Structure 1
Amino acid sequence: MAQSGSTIKNAGIYALGLVLSKLVGLVMLPIYTRYLSPADYARIELLLLTTELTALVIGFGIRQSITRFYYRYTETDDRRTFLSTAIILSIGLYTTASIVGFFNAERLSVLIFEGLPKETYSFKLVFLLFFLEPLKIIPLVLIRAQQRAKLFVMVSLAELLLQVGLNVYFIIFAGQGYVGILYSSIISISLISLYLTIYYFRFSRFRFSSSMAREVLKYGAPIVLLNLGNFVLTFSDRYFLKAYAGLTEVGIYSLGYKLAFIYSTLSYLPLFSSWNPKRYELAEDPTFPETNKTVFTNASLLFIFFALGISVFSRDFFRIIAAPEFHPAYKVVPIILLAYVIQGWTSLTDFGIHYTGKTKCLALVGVVSSAAIVALSFGLIPTLLGYGAALATVAAFLVRFFMTYHYAQKYLHLPYEWGKVMTMLGLAVVVYGLSWLVTLDNVILSAGYNSLLCTAYLGLIWYSPIYGNEEKSALIRTVRQQMQRFRRQKA
């Protein structure tokens, strides 16, 4: 229970850091939806998605490799050499890809847009941004591996303030439109990367080990296919929507999907950032299976409750912050969030694959799940548009989960309380149904009604047999301890 409490405490700090790092997208939504058309919002989405795809291929699983091997090297000298090798390898790969992308910007513009000069210029900016990425991403992975959650929060806050300020200037005052978002990203990441690179080399030496590089690439090669599969699962629907419905539909759907990213930032990403390195550290402990089971059950409640809350409030949220042409975005939110609950389960149950190093199966998982969403997109999107894209996402995420779970349990069997988790999910579906049945035009009344529903859900969980008396007592003690610690810090 102590290990579980420590994980949840760190997860709370990581949650703040991850929220801050992603908050720029949320804070800027009222501006994006008033100064950009749905089509322009779709353009910036597709620009950034294209570079994300490049990063998944070029990154070669190096980020995952740092978490995997950081604790393996116990000698300080070996660890410093490994960290240096990882960032040098990343810089070399990203630089090569950036140069190739920069000089092929016009071809990409023709392929994805209409080949207009503005889109060509935007692609060049995007690949300049891509060049800077490893100088930010790799040091942040090290900070997570070191479990320095407070430093992670400080860096995230600095980046948030920079990006929001620059976005406001470039979009509102300079009138640069969606290109202004790229300008602000380049400037803010340049400044943050300068600090992070200096920090990183405090723990590494400028030395390259070919043997360590081969080990990293060997471990990361199957992850490339998995990452490609993740990209296809997460983002390919935008390209299908553009082909069948145009940029405006992509913009509205992307705004709805934005809440899924906010959801992942608030729920499983912070917990996974804390728990992932911790589970490698605890893997040999005899109590690990029980600790892992407890973390998974409690995390599932967190996943489901956050998904329920965001779903029931999404309509009111968009009515408050977005221009009217963006309001239909709320309709796809609950379907997409169900997919991300499944994604959270996948991330927390795949430990057997990574711990045993048998990542080759992930390539098959990526290929099969990618093929599933492509086939489903062809079948559903032409007629159902945004709904079809969301349903295809849920189905494909399920395929990936079942395959990943099968292999993880095969290599390292760990117990999970699926009966409790399915009960949590079933109760959430019932509560969401009550929200869907009652639509109130008054935003205040609607928010009040949905708040009561969310409170009722927690009451159902508390008074159901999901948690025993001992578990409830432990939870109450943990909450009281955290409140006392907060009061002492405040004093």
Structure 2
Amino acid sequence: MFQNLKRLGGDSLLYALMNVGTKVIAFIMFPIYTYLLTLDEYAPVELIDRWTSMLTFLVILGTDSALAFYYFEKKDKEERRSYIRNVMSIRLFMVLCLLLVTAIIGPFFADSLLKSEHGLYLLYLSIAILFFDTIAALVLTVLRYEFKTLKVVIITVLKMLLVAILSYLFLKFFVRSVEGILYGRIISGILIVLLLVKPLVKFISFKFDRNILNDLLKYGLPLVPASLAFWVILNSSTFFLGYMKTSAEVSLYGAAAKFATLITLVTSGIQMAWRPYSMSLKDKPNNKEMFSKVYLIILLMGTTGVLIVATIMPYVILLLEASYRSSYQYVALLSAATFLNFYYLIISVGIFFMKKTKIISYAFAGAAVINVILNIILIPSYSIWGVVASYLISYLAAIIYIFVKSQKLYYIPVSLWKMSALFFVMLAGTIGIVYVQEHALSPLYIVLAWVVYVATVGITRVDKDLRGTRNHETN
């Protein structure tokens, strides 16, 4: 058991370092981009990024989860490669379809959507980026499944460095426009694909195996609505806020959201390590005991992390200009929602083991509907707080539904009431800390919030669950 936890911890640390590196590079490059481009000139980059994120969901078609399942289920090396080849063929076929769709409908809305004279050309460039990223992403995914963690980390950070350097060079010396950034991304994508050409040649095939294709799509397609629902939840609030309120409030929310994603510096490392780790334990003895401990360990890390964010944000936000500093108050609760967005992957092993992935789609489709309705109701009266509430409530609804369903399919001996107590005490503490900071009350109240949280950890005896070993499995 210790060896398994050690592997998860080691891989998670390397992936976390990778994400720290890539995010640091991104944070450094953003002010450089805005120095070289005006705000109006930079705007299409944001729109292209949102557009590309949605297309990525369509290209993947849930095959990431399907491949994770069948890669570890199939023991024959050649059979595994057949699944990988079919996934590659599906994704490249989808990129071709999206190129055709762009060619057909792009001319009707590209310029007005991107507010650029070369809107259609920018869309074509985004498809080129998607093509090379699709190839590289699958090869890196397989390397993750082979637990070649260090290689994945090095190549991913290298890619981000290449994007930053080449985009800067194009903007500075060749093309002082959005195209310069996109050219940098395309060339970096080509270089990374060339770097991965040795493992890549094993996975390129233009044939579909009907049985394998059926396995992949049957497992993965039910997850596509969930992916699109994620996109709605993450992006719709910005559009509602911009329509119903002012651009200043959109900017404040954007700043808060950027800081809130910093919690992914920790969670994204675990997220990347979790899929191959959990699938590799599927048929191991005592795996349920292991999962129960991981559930609690990660929840403790997440809830503690959110409270830390709430406590230190008034000081961290000083890095921004004065007009942006009031955004600090939203960061901690947005971080809590961001944590839930990650945590559902941890507590849904039963759904993935039993191949009931439609449940994920149902959960997040429902969450997307809740999110949109709450945005419409809350934003007119509560502005950014309405966005925060809709974001958090929709994710809470989804994760509770997913956990209950997963437990019914594949019971993990972990206490729901203990997990709920930890999360909701953290939530109350976070709200209390922000209230104290906003009203300049005594810092002792912040200490009190921490004391209540630590006391909850003690009362629930989570430490006993982490130390002890259950001698039975209940269904």
The amino acid that maps onto 1:65 is A
Judging changes above 3 Å, is the alpha-carbon distance between structure 1 residues 427 and 64 closer, same or farther for their aligned structure 2 residues? closer
- Is 1:345 matched up with 2:343? yes
Q: Conserved in 1, the CA contact under 8 Å of 2:367 and 2:395?
A: yes
The amino acid that maps onto 1:77 is E
SS in 1 for 2:260: helix
Q: Conserved in 1, the CA contact under 8 Å of 2:44 and 2:116?
A: no
Q: Conserved in 2, the CA contact under 8 Å of 1:65 and 1:220?
A: yes
Instruction: Decide which moves more: 83-92 or 428-437.
Output: 428-437
Residue in 2 that maps onto 1:401: 399
Judging changes above 3 Å, is the alpha-carbon distance between structure 1 residues 268 and 86 closer, same or farther for their aligned structure 2 residues? same
The amino acid that maps onto 1:342 is L
- Listed as ranges, the gaps of 5+ residues in structure 2 are 470-475
Residue in 2 that maps onto 1:487: none
How many residues are treated as equivalent by the alignment? Answer: 463
Instruction: Quote how far apart the aligned CAs of 1:439 are.
Output: 7.3
Judging changes above 3 Å, is the alpha-carbon distance between structure 1 residues 324 and 38 closer, same or farther for their aligned structure 2 residues? farther
Residue in 2 that maps onto 1:319: 318
TM-score, normalised relative to structure 1:
0.82
Instruction: Decide which moves more: 58-67 or 426-435.
Output: 426-435
The amino acid that maps onto 1:293 is S
Identity across matched positions, percent: 20
Judging changes above 3 Å, is the alpha-carbon distance between structure 1 residues 44 and 380 closer, same or farther for their aligned structure 2 residues? farther
Q: Conserved in 2, the CA contact under 8 Å of 1:20 and 1:153?
A: no
Residue in 1 that maps onto 2:75: 74
CA distance in 1, matches of 2:466, 2:90: 47
Instruction: Quote how far apart the aligned CAs of 1:358 are.
Output: 1.4
Residue in 1 that maps onto 2:473: none
Q: Conserved in 2, the CA contact under 8 Å of 1:7 and 1:271?
A: yes
- Is 1:287 matched up with 2:286? yes
1:381 to 379, 382, 398: 379
Residue in 2 that maps onto 1:217: 217
Q: Conserved in 2, the CA contact under 8 Å of 1:39 and 1:251?
A: no
Q: Conserved in 1, the CA contact under 8 Å of 2:89 and 2:204?
A: no
Structure 1 residues 241-279: Cα deviation after superposition (integer angstroms, max 9, x where no partner): 232346554444233212333322x23221132222222
Q: Conserved in 2, the CA contact under 8 Å of 1:435 and 1:453?
A: no
Residue in 1 that maps onto 2:105: 104
CA distance in 2, matches of 1:124, 1:324: 39
CA distance in 2, matches of 1:39, 1:9: 43
Q: Conserved in 2, the CA contact under 8 Å of 1:14 and 1:270?
A: yes
Instruction: Quote how far apart the aligned CAs of 1:135 are.
Output: 0.9
Instruction: Decide which moves more: 465-474 or 238-247.
Output: 465-474
Q: Conserved in 1, the CA contact under 8 Å of 2:306 and 2:430?
A: no
Q: Conserved in 2, the CA contact under 8 Å of 1:39 and 1:248?
A: no
Judging changes above 3 Å, is the alpha-carbon distance between structure 1 residues 382 and 459 closer, same or farther for their aligned structure 2 residues? closer
The amino acid that maps onto 1:261 is T
Structure 1 residues 271-327: Cα deviation after superposition (integer angstroms, max 9, x where no partner): 13222222222122231111001111111122223333334444433432x444544
Structure 1 residues 214-239: Cα deviation after superposition (integer angstroms, max 9, x where no partner): 22112111111111111111222122
Residue in 2 that maps onto 1:260: 260
TM-score, normalised relative to structure 2:
0.85
Residue in 2 that maps onto 1:45: 46
Residue in 2 that maps onto 1:241: 241
CA distance in 1, matches of 2:413, 2:468: 23
Structure 1 residues 40-95: Cα deviation after superposition (integer angstroms, max 9, x where no partner): 66643332112211221232111222111112221122122221111121111112
Judging changes above 3 Å, is the alpha-carbon distance between structure 1 residues 95 and 185 closer, same or farther for their aligned structure 2 residues? same
CA distance in 1, matches of 2:395, 2:466: 31
- Is 1:145 matched up with 2:161? no
Residue in 2 that maps onto 1:28: 29
- Listed as ranges, the gaps of 5+ residues in structure 1 are 442-448, 475-491
Q: Conserved in 1, the CA contact under 8 Å of 2:63 and 2:217?
A: yes
Instruction: Quote how far apart the aligned CAs of 1:29 are.
Output: 4.0
Task: Please provide the CA RMSD for this pair.
Answer: 3.5
Instruction: Decide which moves more: 299-308 or 311-320.
Output: 311-320
What does 1:124-143 correspond to in 2, within 5 Å?
124-143=124-143
